[in-house]
Structure 1
Amino acid sequence: MGNKEMLEIFVCEDDDKQREDVVKIIKDYIWMQDYDIAFDLASSDPRELLSHIFEKQEDFTGLYFLDIELDSDINGIALASKIRQIDPSAKIVFITTHIELMSLTFDYKVEAMGFITKDNNKMKEQIIDCISVAVERYLNIKKDTEDYIIIKRGFSSIKLNVSEIQFIETSEISHQLLINMKNRQVSFYGKISEIEKLNPNFYRCHQSYVVNIKNIDRIEKSNREIYMIDGNKCHASVRYLRGLLSKLEKLQ
């Protein structure tokens, strides 16, 4: 995942048609949402999947959709157990025609988050529900050394790294805000007056702007322009400029 942390999805299913169906459901849903989530690998071979996640050599969390009966000496439950050794935070969902095998997951201590019966008319809905639950749990894990904020966009949530946020501004669209980041811009609906409360590094510098003070490169006092470390700029008003300068001094 490099510097951009996100949840990654993997599929292991030895039936080509069923694997393609599951992958299509997953990719279509990800495309429709704005989750920090990526589809990584689909394979019929459990050893290929294990080798792939082992070679990533990164801290990551995966969501795995696994067939229980695989054309291999490693069945889906044993595969899940081996996945846990590589990816302790793995979120595992079994897709099977034999729901009675569910009890075996307790013997292997794989802690599956879901079981989906193949070829039932709710299969798509259940896969989507598992993705949504996995994303929600992922976003709510204990924060690591970096700060994040979570914003809501309709029925989805987005986790944003504060260190990448330059400033937030109001949009021409009523009640819409724009988060300007190092490499992208994210829009959502909210109130600019409430943004400052999301993180101690945010400061209301203008009626239409909240700036991340840690990403300020310099401030031109003559025209009250704030230049960010990514080269972008926003504005400060006379009302807020003195407080902004005071807060910057405290960081030095």
Structure 2
Amino acid sequence: MVPIYICDDVQETREYLKKIISNLIMIHDYDMEIVLVTGDPKEVLAHRRSHAMRSIYFFDVDLKHEEYNGFSLAKEMRALDTRGFLIFITTHEELIFETFKYRLEAMSYLYKDAPEKLNGQLMECLVDIQQLLTQELGDSQSYYTVKIADASYQLPMESILFFETVGAHRVVLHTESRLLEFRGELKKIEQQLSEKFLKIHRSYLVQKSKIQQVNYSDNTVIMENGSVCLMSRAGKKLLRSYFEGSEG
């Protein structure tokens, strides 16, 4: 579980961030947890010193504190957590350059004066962090990210059954529990994915391990959930080669 710290001197902002982040964690089932929401930088430091886990930090840049602003707090935090994820919250875009002064490696900047965009910005931050953590853990816990309008969805690769083209630049992703339609091209998706997936038809890209049955006589493939996918002549050759190779 990756700890999340929120430090902002405006209570309304703190509660707003807490609500959005909590909802995103719940919806996407991220292995993250908000452990502290406060306006006191010293409370953040005290809590972090007693916990050794790599963490995510949302810090207000312009903290109204006698000793710390967001950057000086982040500098001390970086000494405690060299690989943590720093995200700054600000209404002053010009202050971003202060990160160079403090030699901080910030992951992102969120703008308080654009609340209509804040949800999307937070989602992008969490998606990026999840992807980085996933890459470090290896392919066994890899995810596929789909963006639809202002929302992003992270799906465990093992849950994906197949991708299906349903129109010009429109693709439906079929998982064990849901369908997601988004703008995309099967050819590009195939290039992004590993050899675990096989394009068996111009409209179907399937995960090989999710195939339940191949009917060579009527050129169809039955997936684990009973969905029927079409198989082209080239796809038939690929499948024969795959299954004969597996048997061998």
TM class by shorter-chain length? Answer: 0.5 to 0.7
CA distance, structure 1, for counterparts of residue 108 and residue 129 of structure 2: 16
CA distance, structure 2, for counterparts of residue 134 and residue 30 of structure 1: 11
**Matched AA of 1:124:** P
Question: TM-score, with normalisation over the residues of structure 2?
Answer: 0.61
Unaligned runs of 5+ in 2: none
CA distance, structure 1, for counterparts of residue 51 and residue 164 of structure 2: 41
More relative contact order in 1 or in 2 (CA 8 Å, sep 6+)?
A: 1
**Which of 87, 91, 111 is 2:105 aligned to?**
111
1:237 and 2:228 matched: no
- Change in 2 beyond 3 A, CA 1:183/1:75: farther
Percentage identity across aligned positions?
22
- Residue of structure 1 in register with 2:158 after alignment: 163
Answer whether contact 2:85 2:107 (CA < 8 A) is retained.
no
SS at match of 1:187: strand
CA distance, structure 1, for counterparts of residue 49 and residue 163 of structure 2: 36
**Which of 188, 191, 202 is 2:185 aligned to?**
191
- Residue 211 of structure 1 and its aligned partner are, at CA, apart by 0.5
1:250 and 2:213 matched: no
- Change in 2 beyond 3 A, CA 1:96/1:150: closer
Residue correspondence of structure 1 range 64-83 to structure 2 within 5 A: 64-66=58-60, 68-69=62-63, 76-77=70-71, 79-81=73-75, 83=77
* Stretch of structure 1 that moved more, 145-154 or 36-45: 36-45
Answer whether contact 2:200 2:206 (CA < 8 A) is retained.
yes
- Change in 2 beyond 3 A, CA 1:40/1:124: farther
- Change in 2 beyond 3 A, CA 1:23/1:143: closer
1:215 and 2:210 matched: yes
CA distance, structure 2, for counterparts of residue 251 and residue 83 of structure 1: 51
1:124 and 2:119 matched: no
- Change in 2 beyond 3 A, CA 1:95/1:155: closer
**Which of 172, 177, 182 is 1:178 aligned to?**
172
Count of aligned residue pairs for this structure pair: 234
Unaligned runs of 5+ in 1: 3-7
CA distance, structure 1, for counterparts of residue 51 and residue 173 of structure 2: 34
- Residue 210 of structure 1 and its aligned partner are, at CA, apart by 1.4
Answer whether contact 1:70 1:76 (CA < 8 A) is retained.
no
RMSD: 5.0
SS at match of 2:238: helix
